[in-house]
Amino acid sequence: MTTQTKDALVLECETGNYHTFCPISCVSWLYQKIEDSFFLVIGTKTCGYFLQNALGVMIFAEPRYAMAELEEADISAQLNDYKELKRLCLQIKKDRNPSVIFWIGTCTTEIIKTDLEGIAPRLEAEIGIPIVVARANGLDYAFTQGEDTVLAALVQSCPNLKPSTTVDDPAQATFIQSLLQWPLTNTGMTANASVPKGSAPQAKHPPLVLFGSVPSTVVNQLTVELNKQGIHISGWIPARRYSELPELGPDVYVCGVHPYLSRTATALMRRKECKLINAPFPIGPDGTRAWIEKICKTFDIEPQGLEEREAAIWEKLEDYLELVRGKSVFFMGDNVLEVSLARFLIRCGMIVYEIGIPYIDKRFQASELQLLEQTCRDMKVMMPRIVEKPDNYHQIQRIRELMPDLAITGMAHANPLEARGISTKWSVEFTFAQIHGFTNARDILELVTRPLRRNSSLSELGWTTFVKDVSPPQGPLGVASHPATHGLRTSEESGKGSAKVIDVKSTNVTLPIA
């Protein structure tokens, strides 16, 4: 079986089932990000149970989300959708008085074709609170698409930029910038030197809006990095408050920070006629540098000190790099961050056998794919195959053959793989960790190396194997296990009887809420 090609990236498509969280889980991080919002998920008991489980830890935090549970009378159209939703929204207004209510559609509203978009404008005029309708549901490929759907819906609510306040073209903006900087350049100072560290300079280029939900610390870090290059961010989607949404229009440049936001990018270009900066994503020092360089290039700005900045970060990562160099990794595909993470790990010296990914928008990820190709050439490694919509059965066969040091996988496959002696890392952890920007590269490697470090620590203690006393029946994936039959043994003990010896595993990871 061929798993790699030599010269160019190969994109394949299998016809596997989706094994992903439901995208309505995006509520868990978006309601915290947009502080004055309320999320109303309109679905059935199943959705309620899922949210309760996924967000159960927030029960004491007075969350700003709720379930509108559809019952038989709703589904059989005996109740009036409009009246029911009005009743709920008035209740939300009375209890929480949010600046915006998000209606999150589900599989059920999709299947019974509830006209949420038709009801929302009438209702928001009546109750006086804007309503944003986002159809995030289990019919999507990846759970991260929930955020994409909400942000794409939010684009429509952004105010329009008045054309007179912008400069049309980057070349013109740069000319104006050079005029403004004339006294500085004549005194030997640079524009950057005149800008205090961390402060936002005056915009001397067309407006730049970034999109993607990241914690405020990451927002600050990326803002500071761009400010150092004399680039000012006009706003973020999502903003901290609904009233702070940035102005959008044909003169506005937009750039994404997550690889899974292709719908948002399309909405920005089609509905608001914004100009998309197609850059690699700011994940890892290499990606962050390439992301900043691309933005600088768009605005005709010469990047300052980026090479040194990147080199300094790599130097600080050396303790982690020693652990990962030469190790192999296999991405099963789960959250659409796979290409960016694989590119970073190849740069770290790892061998990537396969990049499984639930779906890939090749246009939105074009620069990231180019950077991946370039990274493979620079590191003189073979190009990994990219498998869209992977068939897990076939992936397991490939994993069995290749025996990678680490598989980055969705939760469904982690335990079965561990039971087969493959170390795993849940891909969902990369979704909730802070992985963007120069300094957060450490956090990515912290996650990647955790199973590798755990294995070596346990072997130092003599706990080298994980023993399964009873061989369970083999399913189609060739894996099955029951916790009651598992136990840790030392290597001497593990050789006894009919026990099956496999590597040690750990499952004590909780779902973090960003």
Residues that bind ligand SF4 (CB under 6 A): 22, 24, 43, 46-47, 50, 106-107, 137-138
Q: How far is the CB of 491 from ligand SF4 (least distance, A)?
A: 44
Q: How far is the CB of 212 from ligand SF4 (least distance, A)?
A: 22
Overall residue count recorded for the chain in this entry = 514
**Strands 383-388 and 4-5, how do they pair?**
antiparallel
Taking the least distance from each CB to ligand SF4, the nearer of 106 and 145 is: 106
Question: How crowded is the C-beta side of 27, counted as CA atoms within 13 Å?
Answer: 34
Q: How far is the CB of 41 from ligand SF4 (least distance, A)?
A: 8
Taking the least distance from each CB to ligand SF4, the nearer of 22 and 407 is: 22
CA distances from 15 to 363, 391, 408 (A): 21, 6, 20
Taking the least distance from each CB to ligand SF4, the nearer of 135 and 385 is: 135
- In degrees and rounded to multiples of 5, residue 486 shows phi and psi of -100, 150
Taking the least distance from each CB to ligand SF4, the nearer of 61 and 111 is: 111
Taking the least distance from each CB to ligand SF4, the nearer of 47 and 502 is: 47
Taking the least distance from each CB to ligand SF4, the nearer of 51 and 399 is: 51
Taking the least distance from each CB to ligand SF4, the nearer of 22 and 332 is: 22
CA-nearest of 426, 191, 203 to 299 is 203
Q: How far apart, in whole angstroms, are the C-alpha atoms of residue 214 and residue 222?
A: 10
Quickly list DSSP for 290-317: HHHHHHHHHTT----SHHHHHHHHHHHT
Report the residue closest to ligand SF4, judged by CB. 138
CA-nearest of 235, 256, 255 to 245 is 235
Q: How far is the CB of 408 from ligand SF4 (least distance, A)?
A: 23
| Both structure tokens of 402 | 């290749």
Question: How crowded is the C-beta side of 315, counted as CA atoms within 13 Å?
Answer: 6
Q: How many CB atoms lie within 10 A of CB 456?
A: 11
Strands (E), 283-392: 328-331, 351-357, 383-388
Taking the least distance from each CB to ligand SF4, the nearer of 24 and 55 is: 24
The 8-class DSSP code of residue 334 comes to S
Q: How far is the CB of 43 from ligand SF4 (least distance, A)?
A: 5
Work out the angle between the directed axes of helices 284-298 and 306-316 (0-180°, nearest 10).
170
Q: How far is the CB of 138 from ligand SF4 (least distance, A)?
A: 2
Q: How far is the CB of 49 from ligand SF4 (least distance, A)?
A: 8
The 8-class DSSP code of residue 449 comes to H
Helix (H) or strand (E) holding 103: strand 100-104
Who's near 492: CB < 8 A, 6+ residues apart? none
Peptide bond preceding 238 in cis form (omega within 30 of 0): yes
Q: How far is the CB of 16 from ligand SF4 (least distance, A)?
A: 17
| Both structure tokens of 140 | 């999507």
Q: How far is the CB of 105 from ligand SF4 (least distance, A)?
A: 8
Quickly list DSSP for 192-212: HHHSPTTPPPPP-SS-EEEES
Q: How far is the CB of 95 from ligand SF4 (least distance, A)?
A: 24
Q: How far apart, in whole angstroms, are the C-alpha atoms of residue 235 and residue 170?
A: 18
Q: How far is the CB of 143 from ligand SF4 (least distance, A)?
A: 9
| Both structure tokens of 439 | 């300094």
Taking the least distance from each CB to ligand SF4, the nearer of 137 and 264 is: 137
Q: How far is the CB of 358 from ligand SF4 (least distance, A)?
A: 14
Q: How many CB atoms lie within 10 A of CB 242?
A: 21
Taking the least distance from each CB to ligand SF4, the nearer of 38 and 50 is: 50
| DSSP β-bridge partners for residue 67 | 41
